[in-house]
Chain A
């Protein structure tokens, strides 16, 4: 089988390999770069568990070939926290109970980071629309939406807090 030399920058580090054309990018990331935070949850390009940032855009890495990534700049969930500090979106998921099993979480986070980059103050509808290519089968979307709202607040320089109002958790800006 013909193999193709590729060189891909993942989270700032160059990864090289000789890959057959049919190797999917998600498998290169997981099995050759050994970054197993990116998940693979379906065969039909439906779930978004495999979402990565590919040259500045979130895409489903199960539907790209590894050879297509030659020369690309990729960010995976492992590259999101900086200097031991959680990214505000990660912090939001942690604070708002945005995950249970965590299978969808890396994809949700990569998609949400991109969403907030383009729309720093999204409405609830815009958040639901933005993450509509990512499926969560256990947490449900309410807490995920709150996690993104938390992150938006934090990224805008405000200090969010999670409070319980009428038996519902709500994200709001902390009083000074």
Chain B
């Protein structure tokens, strides 16, 4: 199928893109294009202008500073698979990236587009909720840092104004005692999750859990952070009893509907099982 007609500009700088967005209320940013172009082919999206940011320099990087792992918005999913830093230190992110779409799609799809699309079926929202990441949103007047828990304001609606662009994602720098894991049940490669759970824990002295984050994928109209489940885990060691309690709370936090991927009941059961497994794996990695 062929998209409806539109105009196209390859922006050379972010400034140029901001200006074009401001001038054109019907414009959209084109990053990897692997959510947007399929939607345009089906005419679900019919923007009047596409502003391609693929030629804007310095938007794709993975680097650590004193406080954060900083990821440029235009970083492709395949870069995570190829990055030794991610593979060795950021397991939750590494697990998830491998499970997104298929290897060919991952050569184009960007992490910024994955979050900006704010699709509850996308995998990065749950990952970033688990990490308690910060999203950097830039505009002509400067940049804003948005905590991920405030970033998704409605179904398919991120906290990005029309004339702003998501430029960076920040994940807390890995410390000793950090562990993460992403588990996804999909019907086949390239499918969105029937259910997926992302878990990140930070263990301190004597294995006391200082932080726990649990994100749920494709289990409601919006990406979900299972806050009550996270709370019961924090303040003590990750005992089997606590893990079971958290898993129960996570399955209650999910808001699945029955569809061709499974019934509501089945999906809640998956959340419970995946949460137990992901927490155990994260705890092992934290101890390693």
What residues make up the interface of A, taking CB atoms closer than 8 Å to B? Answer: 1-2, 4, 20-22, 24, 43-46, 48, 51, 57-60, 63-65, 67-68, 70, 111, 129-130, 132-134
**Residues of B within 8 Å of A, CB-based: how many?**
30
| Contacts A20-B5, A21-B5, A22-B5; A63 near B50 (Cβ below 8 A) | no
B107 interface neighbour in A20, A43, A57, A67, Cβ under 8 Å: A57
- Check if B41 is an interface residue, CB within 8 A of chain A: yes
Question: Which of B14-22, B97-105, B123-131, B135-143 participates in binding chain A?
Answer: B97-105
In whole angstroms, how far apart are the Cα atoms of A43 and B42 in the complex? Answer: 8
Are B104 and A48 in contact (CB-based, < 8 A)? yes
Are B41 and A111 in contact (CB-based, < 8 A)? no
Are A21 and B42 in contact (CB-based, < 8 A)? no
Are A132 and B190 in contact (CB-based, < 8 A)? yes
- Check if B158 is an interface residue, CB within 8 A of chain A: no
Are B108 and A59 in contact (CB-based, < 8 A)? yes
Are A22 and B2 in contact (CB-based, < 8 A)? yes
B104 interface neighbour in A67, A70, A129, A133, Cβ under 8 Å: A133
In whole angstroms, how far apart are the Cα atoms of A59 and B107 in the complex? Answer: 6
Q: List B residues 6-51 near A (Cβ within 8 Å).
A: 6-8, 10, 30, 33-34, 37-38, 40-42, 50
Chain A positions within 8 Å of B42 at CB level: 43
* B91-117 vs A, Cβ < 8 Å mask (1 yes, 0 no): 000000000011111011000000000
Closest chain B CB from A134 CB (angstroms) = 7
Are B2 and A130 in contact (CB-based, < 8 A)? no
| Contacts A20-B5, A46-B190, A63-B33; A68 near B107 (Cβ below 8 A) | no
Are B108 and A63 in contact (CB-based, < 8 A)? yes
Are A43 and B33 in contact (CB-based, < 8 A)? no
Are A133 and B2 in contact (CB-based, < 8 A)? no
Chain B positions within 8 Å of A21 at CB level: 5-8, 50
Are A111 and B104 in contact (CB-based, < 8 A)? yes
| Contacts A132-B102, A133-B189; A67 near B8 (Cβ below 8 A) | yes
Closest chain A CB from B17 CB (angstroms) = 15
Chain B positions within 8 Å of A129 at CB level: 103
Q: Return 7 A-B CB contacts under 8 Å, by A number.
A: A21-B6, A22-B4, A43-B38, A51-B104, A60-B104, A68-B30, A130-B103
- Check if B3 is an interface residue, CB within 8 A of chain A: yes
Closest 4 A/B residue pairs (Cβ) = A133-B102, A21-B8, A133-B104, A132-B189
Chain A positions within 8 Å of B3 at CB level: 22
Closest chain B CB from A41 CB (angstroms) = 13
- Check if B78 is an interface residue, CB within 8 A of chain A: yes
Are A58 and B7 in contact (CB-based, < 8 A)? no
B38 interface neighbour in A22, A45, A57, Cβ under 8 Å: A45
Are B105 and A45 in contact (CB-based, < 8 A)? yes
Chain A positions within 8 Å of B10 at CB level: 67-68, 70
B41 interface neighbour in A4, A43, A58, A59, Cβ under 8 Å: A43
Chain B positions within 8 Å of A46 at CB level: 190
- Check if B227 is an interface residue, CB within 8 A of chain A: no
Closest chain B CB from A109 CB (angstroms) = 13
